Structure 1
Amino acid sequence: FFFFFWGFLQVITQNTPSYKTAGKMLEDKRRNLFWTPCATYCIDQMLEDFLKIRCVGECMERGQKITKLVYNQNWLLNLMKNEFTQGQELLRPTVTRSASSFTTLRSLLDHKTGLRRMFQSIKWISSRCSKTGEGKEVEKIVLNATFWKKVQFVMKSVDPVMEVLQKFDSGGSLSMPSIYYDMYRAKLAIKSIHGDDARKYGPFWNVIDNHWNVFYHPLYMAAHFLNPSCRYHSDFVAHTEVVRGLNECIVRLEPDNARRISASMQISDYNSAKADFGTELAISTRTELDPAAWWQQHGISCLELQRIAVRILSQTCSSFACEHDWSLFDQIYNQRHNRLAQKRMNDLVYVHYNLRLRERQLRKKSNSSISLDSVLLERLLDDWIVEEEKKALLEDEEIHCNEMEQVETYENAMIDYEDGSIETRKVSVEEVTLGDVNVNAANAGVDSDDDADINFFEDEMSD
């Protein structure tokens, strides 16, 4: 994703090693080019790593058992929506796969009372499903108070980061001016929520710290410093990395040495809110105006610094909107549809992508969180709907289709001999039977899911 503004080129990609290496090479070759990691991708990686925390993984696993049972039983789904959730769904697809898992877990917590009532109702108790092993297991999960305490604990820990991600997806404003500050506050919020108890917030902080170096990018640091709503906030601290990032941006964005010096000297006026920075209008609009617009209006006495500030604050830090188009392309052009004509495939991508744009516009007008595009986003929640056996069958179907194509090739294999003659030979495909596969009977048991294995801050957590 390329963003060009006022002689300033920014390249935004995922934060993988190959992209980082390519970005470094581009920066070394072109002085006015910045490579930045996509903030949305980095935050999504945090959420993905949150899933590896033991208590989070347990909650997700149990939550998925609930939704799989409900969404694979039509009568139960209708019962839930008609009598216990006021027509609302449990599934809440959102911007990414990992984020969708957490929003769905939040939905389960929001519908805790309705779900508990449903699994205690006469209609459920008298149903055949309630007598099955799966039904008994899910009922036990829903009626288990410890499960809901753990879900509440997980969501309290993750919500601050989720809010940052959803803010970027809203499309309301460019995110460069606030990304560093938003993530910094999210980290502090997690600590505060748990009463500064390192045992509780520690695992989540460790995940954030593993990705935190991404937000030390010079552009993020400079944008944080030049954002008036951050700089003039009472808790602002000019950390070393912030000042260093600002200095680097001044050097790289201003080739003229005299203007660099002028811009550096003008920083003191901005820090002290002197001249036009300290007028009544400038002070009252620090948090109201877009940061770049604020500088255009009130930075008129510091033109060199104003020029740099506007260029930095006009940037975005996420390529997610652009990547949505490619994710749709990948979704449509998969193994099942790889024979689509080019025009038809382009039409499908066009229709799907514009449906999402329309949904976003409608959400802005109605201020509603209900997604009109849930069907298109169900792929983000297949772990919450599709049972493992069915998922395996779908994968086998794709493999079978590919094998059939290979069989057609093998059956008419052309063998080219040294003397130039060619022979067409039938080639058989060996069958693999169950007898060829070794199964370890000792590992074929069923895992227990008793409350005894739930032992994560059980005493400290409360409803």
Structure 2
Amino acid sequence: MDKSNDVLKGAPRLGATRRHPPAPRLKGGDAPITKAPLKRARREAVARVASEGPTRWMYEAAIPFNAVTYPSFQPMIEAIGQYGVGMKGPTFHEGKNGCSIMSDGWTDRKERTLVNFLVNCSKGTMFMQSIDASSMIKMGEKMFELLDKWVEQVGEENVIQVITDNHSTKEQKGKTIANTVLMPSFWNTIVFCLKVSGPLVRVLRLVDGEKKTPMGYIYEVMNRAKDAIVRSFNGNEEKYKEIFNIIDKRWEIQLHRPLHVVGYFLNPEFFYDKPKIEHDAEIMSDLYKCILRLTRDPAKQEKVVAEVSLFTNSQGLFGNELVVRTRKTRAPG
């Protein structure tokens, strides 16, 4: 008998579909084990690590993070990814892709002011000219004309920046600063800033301090800060109205919480000296908000209200001689 026929019997027919064994399954009837999730997880991990590089570079170079929205950003990332490992970034001169016109002023032994003009590019730095600028160093317009001449000679399309280091520029800036400082409006602005910032700084010191728990004091201190600002402007609302709008907006967003109000309400140092606190609609509203948030049990809510009544009427433990004597010397907590 021809043994080749036996061999062919075990072979698949031409055009027949080869059946692969089913993928192994985990215990408990879980889905089959595949490599796709592992590859996807590895790819996501690599992407996270890769994105840390540009982010760290942007942070060190003080580049605004909204630069990632520029149309050229994503193509740059894809181009780097296509190159792969080992790509070297552009050098300082390659990044500039142009030349710089530089002027450097200095004084020689004869007390003459000399200015050197140089051109810097990726090939190096080339000296162009040195002139005696003693008669024109205080004339900013003349120095501009000299720099403009070199820009035209090199070609405006080739110049990416002009770097100057001369006496006229510094002297002009110095005069501008001196004139600004001597203006009455400058000092009026400084006084305005001090009147506004002084009370607010005291609030910040309380929040960051460790001597007293700020929760029971921040509401009162903020009120005192606003009162101090009003007094500093002699009650002229036009001078502090805009500032109060900014303070109130920031207060509502970051600092004003019902819990802060309750801390103020339950602070004996303030409550017993200010009977109006108990009749303030905003304060009482925030108090009941906190009680409702504290517990949903009606019986417990009523018990808390009863305890609050003891506090407001200075009854029970709150009327103890020692407690009364230390209302203003011990921080609540």
Give the TM-score, by structure 2 length: 0.45
Q: Which has the higher contact order (CA 8 A, sep 6+)?
A: 1
Going by fraction, where is helix more abundant, 1 or 2? 1
